[in-house]
Amino acid sequence: MKKYIYLLTVAALATSCTTKLPRIVFTGKAQGLTDAVFIVTDAEGKNVVGQNITDGNIKVDTVFEGPAGYGTLGINKNGEKKKEFEVYLEAAQYTVEADAAHLSSYPKITSTSGIQNELTAYYSIQEEVERKAQDKVVVLGQGQAEIADNNNKLDAFKQFVAKTPNSLAAPHIMMNLKYEQNLEAYYELFQKLSPAAKQTEEGKFLETKFSGMMKLLPGKDAPLIIGTTPDGKKFDKAALDKKVYIVDFWKAGNQVSRLNHQDMIGGAIKNLNMAKVGIISVSLDNKREWWTKAIEGDKMNWPQYSDLKGDESANAVAWAITRIPTYYILNGKWQVVARDVSYSKLEYTVNQYLEGK
């Protein structure tokens, strides 16, 4: 009997010794680098790989503790500002090609990880679109440059979806783009994604997000405001008597919100016909005292509402508020004229609407 127990123990030890742990392998070349660092971190910022590059060669073979997910990869000359690129990390092999003259460009990464290959394809398309845009000698103001950049990224994503319709990385990529600023175009692209992509964590989030935000397009009936005024009165749509409304989402602890209130009172919207224009503020505070003291301190003499549920406010969900402050323009029928309007464009947007009436 003892003999059999011994044999079983030896067999178990032999099996454990031959079991291969999952590994992540990086090989490749970083041309022209003799004093640099190759570093890979996971989503939590924990180092997965760290290696000095002295001869331009990248060669790392290490146990991958997982779980699989998105992280960053950087190839940086020592002493220079760190530049990171998004990668998908799992037990797989990665071949990296880079050179010292183009360290600000996404490296050429091929992998046994399908999702990583999708990321490489997307960032390659994005850089090509941006390169072509830069070839056009056009001087743009800051606002115009931001619009152009967003349009370039939309164009790149559109090309990526057309070339890689079954991409599982597509919802994750879209999450990093300003899809809310071109809602209809991104929603159309989202509809083209595969069922598997829509079932990813990011895909499910976007589906919920879009289902709410598509109700906030110009011309749609706006949600009713939940909560009450400081003296307990509920929002009454039937009492509206202006041609157009600015709806201001704010918080007492948000400095930009408070400064904008002072700016309004100080005459920043003096070119608006206030006989036709109304302002309604909706607070995302969760403490009544903070809310009411801020109203008094800012000397706001227009309607104020809150359900005092902070970021969990039903108003935040219904109006798709992701940052404070956020401004909407509505008409007198409580329909959306424009959503997520920047503070600097409120006056212009309101006047354009009134002139078109």
**Mind listing the pLDDT tens digit for each residue in 253-280?**
999 999 999 988 876 676 788 899 999 9
Average pLDDT value for residue range 126-130: 95
* Residue linked to tokens 């115009």: 144
Instruction: Please choose, from the candidates 98, 108, 127, the residue with its C-alpha nearest in 3D space to the C-alpha of residue 38.
Output: 98
Q: Taking residues 347-354, what's their average pLDDT?
A: 93
Residue range(s) of every CATH 3.40.30.10 domain in the chain: 237-356
138 confidence band (pLDDT: 50, 70, 90): low
Q: Using alpha carbons, select from 28, 31, 51 the residue that is nearest to residue 103.
A: 31
List of E strands, the chain: 23-31, 36-41, 47-53, 57-63, 69-77, 85-89, 93-99, 108-111, 244-250, 277-283, 304-305, 326-331, 336-338
**pLDDT tier for residue 357 given thresholds of 50, 70 and 90:** low
d(CA 10, CA 2): 12
pLDDT tens per residue, range 265-318: 876 676 788 899 999 999 999 999 999 999 999 999 999 999 999 999 999 999
Rounded CA-CA distance 129/148 in Å is: 11
b/e per residue 78-104 (b: at least 16 CB within 10 A): eeeeeeebbbbbbbbebbbebbeeebe
**Is a pLDDT exceeding 90 seen at residue 76?**
no
Domain at 237-356: CATH code: 3.40.30.10
Q: Average pLDDT in the 323-338 region?
A: 96
Phi, psi (5° rounding) for residue 100? -60, -30
The domain 19-112 is placed in CATH, from the list 1.10.1130, 1.20.120, 2.60.40, 2.30.29, at 2.60.40
Report whether pLDDT(8) > 50.
no
The pLDDT assigned to 15 comes to 46
Cross-sheet strand order for the sheet of 244-250: 304-305, 277-283, 244-250, 326-331, 336-338
Question: Do the Cβ atoms of 117 and 110 come closer than 8 Å?
Answer: yes
Neighbouring-strand partners of residue 51: 38
Residue 148 pLDDT class (50, 70, 90 cuts): confident
| Mean per-residue pLDDT over the chain, rounded | 90
Which residues of the chain does CATH 2.60.40 include?
19-112
